[in-house]
Amino acid sequence: MVKNSSPMATRARHKARDTLLDLGGTKAISVAVQEFQFVILALRKLDKDESQLFLSPNDFQPLEIDSRVYDLSGNSFFGRGRLTDPLPGIPNTPQWLLFESKPYEHQIPQQKETVKQNVRILALKLHQAQQDKGVLRLVGFRDEIDDKQGNFQLVFACVFERQYPPNLESFLKANAMPSLNLRINLCSQLATTVLQTQTLGSVHKNHPERQLLQAEKQHAMSNDAYSLGVCMIEILTWKRLLIATEPPTMSQDFIEAFRRLSLQPDVGEPYTKYPDQIKQTLWCICDELLPTVAGNKMARLAKDFLTYLDAEEGHDENEAQQYAPSRDKDRRRVAVHFVDTGLKTLRDFQRAI
């Protein structure tokens, strides 16, 4: 075969042999194999990692841990940190960030994985949020372990440094009642945020149980619109319903409405033991107090936020609700549509004032 081969073929074989010898001498093959191995390892890591939003120690570095500023609950704090690589709109320079902690017992691997899975799902939803709709920009989530427990932390970009912005309670205390236009604007901003969180599917629908002291879980209207209605009452009247004394108590407006209804107070928790009594009292405030400070239409809208699911449960059947869609089995879609309709109504009020 070699004997019959042409000079051109022989030269080609020699050239190929020399090329292989050169590759071996320059370790090009070894480098190519190593690069291929790196690619395989990276693909395996991507396949194993549950979320691209997870911030490993290589992705994010916390700074000045002693300077962290915690809120009253201790579940969130402002702290400084730095990304290894910048993200769109977020530089890799030291900056203040908002952290929200989700604790777990790090000695229990199953609990850690459960919490991580829940945080991962929440992070994916928050990552889709529009920043001009009241939800902060999510940077990602990370894991932090100390001697006592572990915490998965949602990390948000924010414009605040060291000091928390005032919450609703402190804002109401520090400022005299503003114009109706401003109060409706605040309600509109709040409804915008609730609508976005509903759309993302990230709202925990158990607000009535924790909105007013220890209201029991037996109440069926467990929906985020309820809390929106409660906040609207506080904004429109410019008064807190729950007074942060020791022990906590209800506002005078709430107590007077409770008594006008001739409700029977509980010995241990006079005004907040039974959710149905809370709801009736809030309705009374909407019917009798809100019209004088915000007008009949705003009073009606606030009440509808408290009651729109009750029609499906047989409550308040004789009262047609102007803003509430009914007879829809998909409650999540109903809630989104309802809040969206209420938000449009609020914006109509703003334009009319």
327 conformational bin, left if phi > 0, alpha if psi -120 to 50, beta if neither? left
Distance CA 131, CA 138 (A): 9
- pLDDT tens profile 23-59: 655 566 666 766 676 666 665 555 445 568 999 999 9
Three-state secondary structure along 151-177? EEEEEEECCCCCCCCCCHHHHHHHCCC
CA-wise closest residue to 342 among 286, 288, 302, 283? 302
pLDDT at 284 over 90: yes
Tokens 């928790």 belong to residue: 269
Contact 93, 179 (CB under 8 A): no
Question: Residue 345 pLDDT > 90, yes or no?
Answer: no
Length in residues, the chain: 353
Report in angstroms the alpha-carbon separations of 226 from 207, 298, 324, 347: 7, 15, 13, 20
Residue that is written with structure tokens 């010995």 in the block: 267
Q: Which of 292, 135, 311 is CA-nearest to residue 323?
A: 311
* Cβ atoms of 57 and 143 closer than 8 Å: no
Are residues 302 and 287 in contact, defined by beta-carbon separation less than 8 angstroms? Answer: no
55: closest CA among 30, 92, 110? Answer: 92
Contacts of 302 (CB under 8 A, 6+ apart): 229, 232, 233, 236, 286, 290, 294
pLDDT in tens, 124-172: 888 887 766 778 889 999 999 887 789 999 999 987 776 777 778 888 8
Give the model's pLDDT for residue 234: 96
Q: pLDDT tens across 65-111, in order?
A: 998 988 877 888 999 999 999 998 899 999 999 999 999 988 888 89
Mean pLDDT of the chain: 79
pLDDT digits (tens, 9 = 90+) for 183-200: 999 999 998 888 887 777
